């Protein structure tokens, strides 16, 4: 079967890679940024300066919120339509970069609705007006190299993935200096997001040799560097920026699985209870449960075994290796101060006796969350296709932190 492996035309990496902006050609550039961290640490000014050195007029779209909304996308696209950039440069974490990708679609095709955008691999040709550069400042989503953008519909409380190789950026800048300013909690969450990307891509039903290689290398590096990066070791922090990008290269073409389906459908659905379940933390809690569930598929079990071997975990049979991998991920969560279940997830994301999602609310919403998770774009490439009943059981295990035995 024909498959496709698609990446940005250029990936500039290493310290100082931000300077690559100086070499861009064009008349007008818009820079999309988030809530202020990039401004505070001087990266926004530097980026603007480099683009001006390249002879471009620069406009800034600021204040893109975490887990960006459809409204933010439409507002930003209107600014682009008015300004007419030939470069869109998005700087920050997954949120501003994802929002900028969706703005780009709307800028190129003003008639497009959000519903149109969400048709999987159904986008029209982009780059008729602008090219796209992504500069990542967190070490997790790897959206700088991926064909995805995650936008939240707050009316429905659902995160929708936009998926199409058209939105794979033209240029990715992976400059570890930008990641050095991350607070510890962000290191933990985004790092577990990256590990989940690599593991889900490795067992995905559409994985290939092209995606296996970066996935395995990412897993090895994350095992070596994530806890040290959390402990403020800056060499490890720099390595994590590369590792998460490799994981992105793996999952952009190799796709993901139901850890992400469940994270997308639980992230914003309890926002009315006072908080989000942060994407990376959701993945970290659900990953061990999904490994246990998927390992009932013989092919997936074997592949988890291969991962455990590359990580030099204990075990001689595949069952033992799967158990060791699950134990390893749970141990990581402990070291990174991430709880093991939604019930124990505090509004501040730290483990607590009683988290911000009450049991009653969870159980009321469970059937619809499960139905939505099954419909998520990430479910199709998971090794097992869960029924409604199985998905509800799985989500319950993720809430109470109980063992998966089905
Ligand atoms: N497109 C994809 O392929 C993909 C994959 C996984 C997740 N996502 C999505 O990405 C979003 C999460 O992105 P994220 O985890 O990168 O976080 P984020 O972009 O939401 O940023 C979180 C916070 O960290 C701050 N921040 C960012 N970089 C910083 C730095 N270097 N120093 C200090 N503070 C910094 C931001 O200002 C923000 O307050 C979610 O919406 C998730 O669903 C997308
Ligand atoms: Zn993710």
Question: Ligand 1: residues whose CB is within 6 Å?
Answer: 34-35, 37, 66-67, 92-95, 98, 137-138, 140-141, 143, 146, 148-150, 159, 178-179, 181-183, 186, 190, 193, 279-280
Classified as helix, coil or strand, 41 is coil
Write down the H helix ranges in 41-93.
43-53, 70-83
pLDDT in tens, 34-72: 989 999 999 999 999 999 999 999 999 999 999 999 999
**pLDDT mean over 177-206:** 98
Write the pLDDT tens digit of every residue in 85-134: 999 999 999 999 999 999 999 999 999 999 999 998 999 999 999 999 99
- Mean pLDDT over residues 171-179, rounded? 98
Stated length of the chain: 406
Architecture per CATH, 10-179: 3-Layer(aba) Sandwich (3.40)
Band of residue 158 on the pLDDT scale cut at 50, 70, 90: confident
With a cut of 90, say whether residue 157 has pLDDT above it.
no
**pLDDT confidence of 336, banded at 50, 70, 90?**
very high
Which residue CA neighbors atom 21 of ligand 1 most closely? Answer: 93
Determine whether 24 is exposed, middle or buried from the number of CB atoms within 10 Å of its CB (0-12, 13-18, 19+).
buried
Identify the three-state secondary structure at position 345: strand
The neighbour count for residue 125, using CB atoms within 10 Å, is 8
Q: How far is CA 28 from CA 77, 126, 128, 287, in A?
A: 15, 17, 15, 43
Structure tokens, 66 = 């975490």
Q: What percent of the chain has pLDDT over 70?
A: 100
Which DSSP symbol is given to 30?
E
**Distance between CA 45 and CA 27 in Å, rounded?**
18
Element at 92 (helix H, strand E):
strand 87-92
Please report the pLDDT score of residue 50 as a whole number: 98
Tabulate helix, strand, coil % of the chain (nearest 5).
55, 10, 35
The answer to whether 139 touches 182, Cβ cutoff 8 Å, is yes
Q: Distances in Å between the alpha carbon of 129 and those of 96, 101, 274, 327?
A: 20, 13, 40, 49
pLDDT digits (tens, 9 = 90+) for 205-236: 999 999 999 999 999 999 999 999 999 999 99
Instruction: Give the rounded distance of the alpha carbon of 121 from its chain centre.
Output: 18
Q: Tens digits of per-residue pLDDT, 362-406?
A: 999 999 999 999 999 899 999 999 999 999 999 999 999 999 999
Question: 25-39 pLDDT, tens per residue?
Answer: 999 999 999 989 999
The set of residues, in sequence order, having a beta carbon less than 8 Å from that of 114 and lying 6+ positions away, is 70, 73, 74, 102, 151, 153, 160
Question: Which H helix or E strand runs over 88?
Answer: strand 87-92
CA dihedral for 388, 393, 396, 397, sign (positive or negative): negative
* pLDDT of 161 strictly over 90: no
Structure tokens, 107 = 């800028």
- Which of ligand 1's atoms lies nearest the C-alpha of 41? 32
Is the pLDDT score of 309 beyond 90? yes
Residue 174 Cα to ligand 1 middle (Å): 14
| Residues carrying CATH 1.20.1090.10, the chain | 182-400
> Residue 35 has what pLDDT?
87
In ligand 1, which atom is closest to the CA atom of 267?
A: 43
CATH (residue range 182-400) = 1.20.1090.10
Distance 116 CA to ligand 1 centre (A): 24
CA atoms within 13 A on the CB side of 313: 27
How large is the average pLDDT for residues 345-353?
A: 97
Ligand 1 pocket test, candidate residues 72, 186, 190, most atoms within 8 A of CB? 186
Residue with tokens 């869109």: 88
Q: At 155, is the pLDDT very low, low, confident or very high (cuts 50, 70, 90)?
A: confident
Among protein residues, the one whose CA lies closest to atom 4 of ligand 1 = 141
Do strands 148-153 and 158-163 pair parallel, antiparallel, or not at all (unpaired)?
antiparallel
Average pLDDT of the residues of the chain: 97
* In the predicted structure, residue 283 carries a pLDDT above the cut 90: yes
Burial of 334 (0-12, 13-18, 19+ CB in 10 A): exposed
- Are 109 and 73 in contact by the 8 Å Cβ rule? The answer is no
pTM to 2 decimal places: 0.97
- CATH 3.40.50.1970-classified regions of the chain: 10-179
At residue 56, the pLDDT reads 98
Cα 285–Cα 324–Cα 199 angle in degrees, nearest 5: 55
97/3 Cα distance (integer angstroms): 26
Q: pLDDT tens-digit profile of 239-263?
A: 999 999 999 999 999 999 999 999 9
Q: Lowest-confidence range among 157-166, 180-189, 218-227?
A: 157-166
Q: Which residues contact 319 (CB under 8 A, 6 or more apart)?
A: 295, 301
Burial 359-384 (b: 16+ CB within 10 A, else e): eeebeebbeebbebbbebbbbbbbbb
Nearest CA to ligand 1 atom 42: 279
Query: pLDDT at position 248, please?
Result: 98
The pLDDT of residue 159 is 81
């Amino acid at each position: 079967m024909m498959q496709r492996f698609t990446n940005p035309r250029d990936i500039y990496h290493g310290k100082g890679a931000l300077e690559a902006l100086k070499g861009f050609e064009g008349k007008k550039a818009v820079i999309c940024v988030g809530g202020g961290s990039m401004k505070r640490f001087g990266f926004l000014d530097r980026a603007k300066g480099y683009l001006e050195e390249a002879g471009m007029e620069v406009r800034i779209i600021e204040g893109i919120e975490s887990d960006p909304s459809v409204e933010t996308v439409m507002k930003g696209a209107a600014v682009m339509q008015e300004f007419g950039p030939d470069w869109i440069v998005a700087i920050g974490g997954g949120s501003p970069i994802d929002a900028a990708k969706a703005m780009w679609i709307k800028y190129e095709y003003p008639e497009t609705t959000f519903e149109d955008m969400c048709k999987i691999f159904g986008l029209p040709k982009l780059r008729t007006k602008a090219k796209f550069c992504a500069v990542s400042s967190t070490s997790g989503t790897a959206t700088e190299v991926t064909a995805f953008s995650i936008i939240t519909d707050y009316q429905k409380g659902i995160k929708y993935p936009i998926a199409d190789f058209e939105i794979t950026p033209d240029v990715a800048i992976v400059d570890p200096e930008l990641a050095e300013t991350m607070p510890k909690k962000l290191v933990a969450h985004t790092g577990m997001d990256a590990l989940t990307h690599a593991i889900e891509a490795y067992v995905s039903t559409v994985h290939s040799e092209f995606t296996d290689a970066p996935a395995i290398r990412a897993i090895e590096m994350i095992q070596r560097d994530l806890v040290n990066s959390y402990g403020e070791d800056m060499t490890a922090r720099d390595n994590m920026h590369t590792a998460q990008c490799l994981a992105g290269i793996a999952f952009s073409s190799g796709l993901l699985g139901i850890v992400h389906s469940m994270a997308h459908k639980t992230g914003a659905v309890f926002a009315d209870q006072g908080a989000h379940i942060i994407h990376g933390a959701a993945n970290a809690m659900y990953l061990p449960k999904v490994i246990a569930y998927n390992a009932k598929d013989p092919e997936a079990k074997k592949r988890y075994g291969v991962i455990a071997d590359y990580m030099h975990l204990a075990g001689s049979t595949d069952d033992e290796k799967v158990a060791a991998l699950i134990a390893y991920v749970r141990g990581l969560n402990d070291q990174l101060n991430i709880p093991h279940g939604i019930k124990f997830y505090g509004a501040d994301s730290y483990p607590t006796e009683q988290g911000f999602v009450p049991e009653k609310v969870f159980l009321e919403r469970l059937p619809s969350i499960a139905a939505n998770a099954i419909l998520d774009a990430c479910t199709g490439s998971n090794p097992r296709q869960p029924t409604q009943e199985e998905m509800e059981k799985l989500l319950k295990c993720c809430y109470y932190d109980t063992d998966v035995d089905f």
